[in-house]
Chain A
Amino acid sequence: MPILAMLAVMLSVATILITWSVMGGFLKTLVNSGRSLIGDVTVSWPNVGFAYYDELIVMLEDDEMIDGATPIIETFGLIQLPDDRIELVTIKGIDPVSYDRVTNYTDTIWWKPIDEPTAKDRDGSDVRLDPQFTGAMAMFESNAVTLTRLNPESGQTERAGVLGVEVTGLNIRTEDGIYDPRANGFRALPDGRIERVPGFMPAGGSVGLTVLSLDSTGKPVDPVTRTIPIANEFQSGIYEIDKSTIFVPLEIMQEMLRLNEARKVQLVENPFATEVDPVTGLRRPKMSEVVGIDPARVTTVLVRSVDGAELQEVRDRVYQIYQDFEAKHHGEVPSSFSMENQIRTWEDLNATMINAVKKETGLVLFIFGIVSFTSVFLVLAIFWSMISEKTKDIGILRALGASTTGVAWLWIRYGTAIGLIGATMGTAAGYAVVININAIHDWIGRTFNLVIWDPRTYYFIEIPSEVDPDKAIIVFIVGVLTCVLGSLIPAFRSARMDPVKALRFE
């Protein structure tokens, strides 16, 4: 019976540890993926953006707490895909070199040569491994790094974009966790026929992007559409991002949104005013006067902190720097007061997603906690039975002079010992399962043809397999307490036994 109690504790400890570790690992992976393309802190002023960002970046990069900063423009727009579908996407105008310093942009580029198959690609069917495509893949990678693509017809290098790998729907994610690109997509023609269109976007595909250009006050002026060649595709690890994001060169977005450098003019208020043309000497309607240059603007500056820096401290430091920046350009950039809520950490930006996963983790833990709590009653029932069996022994101990508390302590100590052994075994078993969870999962898949973690469903190729020591300690302690708690009532019962009745117990 003590072995049963030990097993109950062991199983509950192992179950909770495995659940918590996998769900925690899932959250960690998700959060890291969400963090991957936004750096640590963002300084954001949507729509009209803010000027002199180069100066702000220099000031930020001068600080010892900050590793790098990059300007981006982030806006919504419409994308027209090769099959004429129109989707709403997030368009990010980036400077690829500085953007890669702040984020891990180049790591997310999908079409590039790889040396080893990915974790689930057992038969090496990934097209990126194919030697005949190595050259092409290297070119796609290079195109993504520079956000350019060679136009084979004109021989000119054009500025290009990088699409999220899920945007076109033409890259089929397989159960091996890789993408199988389709060579062609299909476009329905008005006369009912079907036309083949390029399916693999980096090889000659283009999309149409439409955004609303804004005037200097942020009011929409008119829609601007431009065809953007696709240089490559990226995978961040967050499906929502990969399904609806495109990177384009920063200058393109500045041009399309009218956030680029422009002449500042003094408008002529009187429509009948005239002036003498200095060239011809004739009178002409009075022209607007150029009074200066309106500098280029971006909507966001992403900041990467040095390793080990505390996130909130970095955010506060960025805000201080912005205050100095604003002091230098008072009236020309958004005020520090207005900007206070616009300087946010990546955790703030992903709060919805993080909280959702945290709540899910909490819910699963709660359910498993309740299930595991039944082990308290299991231990209680086992101890109750053990004490019934040992009634006579309890009477003997009382006859030999043992006190009621002494008898109770005996059982509580026994419960503690069983809890310690059970929790130790459970922690060890849980740890062994978690660190080998992918191997176990693969074995189950091979043996029973049962795939629980399908990369087609879950966006991560592998099940997270890290055990947080803090979590392991908490689960261990809870496991021991479970056993102690389960032994309390039986121990109390043993203490209250009448020794004479106990001795006569049959």
Chain B
Amino acid sequence: MMTPQSKQTPQSKQTSQNRQTPQNRQPILQVKGIRKTYHLGRVKVPVLHGVDMTVRHKEWITILGASGSGKSTLMHIIGGLDRPDKYPEDPASIVYGDRVITDMGAAALNAYRSTEVGFVFQFYHLLPELDILQNICIGSMIRYGRFGYRSKRKGVEARAKELLDRFGLSDRIKHRPAELSGGERQRVAIARALINEPAILLADEPTGNLDLKTGESILDVLAELRESGGLTMVMVTHDERIAARADRVIRLIDGRVVEQTGVGSV
């Protein structure tokens, strides 16, 4: 079975054959000129002012910024949950592999979210009516559809159990989210994000709702995922300490990239 760490886009296959440093890895995601303005009634609230960034294979990037700096919006746009503003004279683009996400239709974006990226949120966003196993498998149910899932169910559940085992939650498989601690819930959310073996994990303040120790353990889990297989991660946070664990930090202030630091910074 393919692990999330082993899933690679065509570009990554040639690079992963040799050990490479972050700065000479192939880009997996190229973001160019992203702008976004929200409309609150008649008031326009510009959030992003032409963001450019590049994400390379197996890289751990942290987007660091204060509340309201546009980091979550940027993550949503990268993940295909939201669309950037369109300016024909200054077109923005997000290119994933050889696909331009910003040009994708709704169906293609759904497929992109389902198969290529995995989301982890600050408040876990688990479905309260489902047990842990069902919460993890639901991503596959959406990916394969009601009937397609039936034939893949055993394999998907086996993978879900493998992930739960890896995260130390194999004894909580039939529990509901309300019966878990915050750290356990976040590990379940990570397992859900990984069930479809995405190429990129997008995490929005994954430790923001956890105490320091638990937050560290979650970061350890993410670090282990990256180390063991090379999962590409884009993490949004306002916490400098968390940012310090990333390969590269992109500092966002008022919707603009003001600084990139770390290994392979541009």
Contact = CB atoms under 8 A, between A and B. Distances in A.
A155 interface: no
**What is the interface residue range for chain A against chain B?**
10 to 19
B212 interface: no
Contact of B142 (A395, A404, A406, A503): A406
Contacts of B127: 393, 396
Contacts of A499: 81-82
A403 B125 contact: no
A400 to B, nearest CB: 5
A499 B125 CA distance: 13
A402 B81 CA distance: 11
Interface in A300-344: none
A397 interface: yes
A402 B138 CA distance: 10
Contacts of B79: 399
B119 A403 contact: no
A393 B73 CA distance: 19
Interface string B127-139: 1000000000011
Residue among A396, A398, A402, A498 having the largest count of chain B Cβ atoms under 10 Å: A396
Interface stretch (B84-92, B110-118, B156-164): B110-118
Main secondary structure of the interface of A (DSSP, over half): helix
B115 A404 contact: no
B60 interface: no
Nearest to B113: A401
A392 B121 CA distance: 12
B82 A401 contact: no
Contacts of A404: 106
B105 to A, nearest CB: 11
A503 B110 contact: no
A340 to B, nearest CB: 63
A406 B115 CA distance: 16
A283 B224 CA distance: 148
B76 interface: yes
A400 B114 contact: yes
A500 interface: yes
A399 B113 contact: yes
Contacts of B121: 399, 503
B172 interface: no
Interface string B72-84: 0100100101100
Given A395-B125, A397-B142, A500-B76, A403 B106 contact: yes
Interface in A337-394: 392-393
Contacts of A396: 125-127
B110 A399 contact: no
B143 interface: yes
Contacts of B110: 401-403
Interface in B210-263: none
A396 B111 CA distance: 15
Given A400-B139, A401-B111, 7 more contacts: A399-B125, A401-B114, A401-B142, A401-B143, A402-B110, A403-B107, A500-B82
Top 9 closest A-B pairs, CB basis?
A: A401-B114, A401-B113, A396-B125, A400-B139, A403-B110, A399-B119, A402-B142, A401-B142, A500-B82
12 contacts: A392-B125, A396-B125, A396-B126, A397-B142, A398-B113, A399-B113, A399-B119, A401-B111, A401-B142, A403-B107, A503-B81, A503-B125
Interface of A: 392-393, 395-404, 406, 498-500, 503
